[in-house]
Amino acid sequence: MITIHLKRGKEESLRRFHPWVFSGAIQHISDHPSEGELARVLAADGTFIAIGHWQVGSIAVRVLTFADESIDGRFWQQRLAVALDVRRAMGVAGRSDNNTFRLVHGEGDNLPGLVVDVYGATAVMQAHSVGMHEARHEVAAALKAVMPELRNIYYKSETTLPFKADLGQENEFLLGGDADDVAVENGLRFHIDWLRGQKTGFFVDQRDNRSLLEHYASGRRVLNMFCYTGGFSVYALRGGAQVVHSVDSSSKAIDLVRANVELNFPGDGRHEAFAEDAFRFLQQMEPSAYDLIVLDPPAFAKHKDALRNAIKGYTRLNARAFEKIAAGGILFTFSCSQAVSKDQFRMAVFTAAAQSGRRVRILAQLHQPADHPINIYHPEGEYLKGLVLYVD
């Protein structure tokens, strides 16, 4: 373990449990650290502050604990057991009609750099830091101890590790290997392609918002834009939609949405899927063809410097929907860009509404679900926001 001394006064945010040490706060590092090593962080006067994973970049340490303790099997088990308790308390784990939930959401579960999504007897684990990559076998062992019912743990970090550190073994089964491929969310079933799919294979974070959409869907003509595996589409069908059209630019996603509709509503003629660019589809579609539209695009801003363009992108996209949605229509619109704040997103949608000249009211303000918790000392953990709008 390396030792880091902070500059005078730079321990203040850490004393308030903010879990990052920025490189500019560091006075001295004991050794030549290699990325991913454990670091003991001390104030300028030598008092103990925290232990975390050292990494290269402006965030130099991601804090695992503010207690002077060993980072061992017992530590990982304790953190994971608390995470599971919290999921049971919120009613997403331990249910017969729902086996799909996020067990670990990085800083929100005091495990910076780690994401674990559970799909029945399979957990998909992602490291966002080299330290978590190095710890993957210990974490997997602790996961199996806390959830003995797990048969597969798939580690999937090829796209999430900070840069091509060429660590090897970034995608592999750490337990089992014959993942059963059906996830159940609120009684609906989904094929999950964890080997090749985006993220851990499914967007677990839209569960509550999909449920809400189900209650708006009855009798409506629904357009699910950026549908990916078709979560919103399947809920809309169960909610009694008249027709549901799913659009995604990826033809693999379109295969998945078709398979998922077939899994839940075999032979249902209300659904059609189109592999097309969202902007082109919105441009070409007939006005008033839909009276419920979902816009759930990928993050337009991955970094702060892309912010202005991202906000313009949200305005452009929402303006197209406002121009075309039928009178009395409902728009579910989202942003999952962490760099775009709730207010900035709302302003972008406001601008789009004003450009279209439509009368719009906000019916609901949406956010990430409880199994994607936000550490109160780490507001950066808030990323998903959405609006349900009524368009006169």
Kindly list the catalytic residues: 336
| Residue 75 vs 235, nearer CB to ligand SAH | 235
Q: How far is the CB of 211 from ligand SAH (least distance, A)?
A: 12
Q: How far is the CB of 43 from ligand SAH (least distance, A)?
A: 43
- Residue pair 65/75 in contact (Cβ under 8 Å)? The answer is yes
From the list 68-76, 96-104, 293-301, 370-378, the region that binds ligand SAH by CB under 6 A is 293-301
Query: 3-class SS at 269?
Result: coil
CA nearest neighbour of 127 among 35, 204, 40, 25: 35
Q: How far is the CB of 368 from ligand SAH (least distance, A)?
A: 13
The rounded distance, in Å, linking the Cα atoms of 33 and 180 is: 41
- Residues in binding contact with ligand SAH, number by CB under 6 A: 17
Q: Among 107, 117, 170, 248, indicate the residue that binds ligand SAH (CB under 6 A).
A: 248
Q: How far is the CB of 226 from ligand SAH (least distance, A)?
A: 4
From the list 22-30, 245-253, 352-360, 370-378, the region that binds ligand SAH by CB under 6 A is 245-253
Q: Among 76, 119, 154, 226, indicate the residue that binds ligand SAH (CB under 6 A).
A: 226
- Residue pair 331/293 in contact (Cβ under 8 Å)? The answer is yes
The rounded distance, in Å, linking the Cα atoms of 147 and 141 is: 10
Q: How far is the CB of 230 from ligand SAH (least distance, A)?
A: 7
The rounded distance, in Å, linking the Cα atoms of 226 and 336 is: 12
Asked whether the CA dihedral 257, 259, 265, 266 is positive or negative, the reply is positive
The rounded distance, in Å, linking the Cα atoms of 318 and 333 is: 8
Q: Among 30, 70, 250, 365, indicate the residue that binds ligand SAH (CB under 6 A).
A: 250
Residues 6+ apart with CB under 8 A from 224: 230, 232, 233, 236, 244, 245, 246, 247, 294
The rounded distance, in Å, linking the Cα atoms of 131 and 112 is: 10
The rounded distance, in Å, linking the Cα atoms of 69 and 113 is: 19
Q: Tell which positions 252-291 bind ligand SAH, by CB under 6 A.
A: 253, 277-278
List the Cα angle 322/324/328 in 5-degree steps: 70
Helix (H), strand (E) counts: the chain: 10, 20
Q: How many residues does the chain have?
A: 392
Contact string (CB under 6 A) for ligand SAH, positions 43-82, x = contact: ----------------------------------------
From the list 70-78, 162-170, 247-255, 300-308, the region that binds ligand SAH by CB under 6 A is 247-255
Q: Tell which positions 191-210 bind ligand SAH, by CB under 6 A.
A: 203, 206
Q: How far is the CB of 188 from ligand SAH (least distance, A)?
A: 12
Binding residues (CB under 6 A) for ligand SAH: these are: 203, 206, 226-229, 231-232, 248-250, 253, 277-278, 296-298
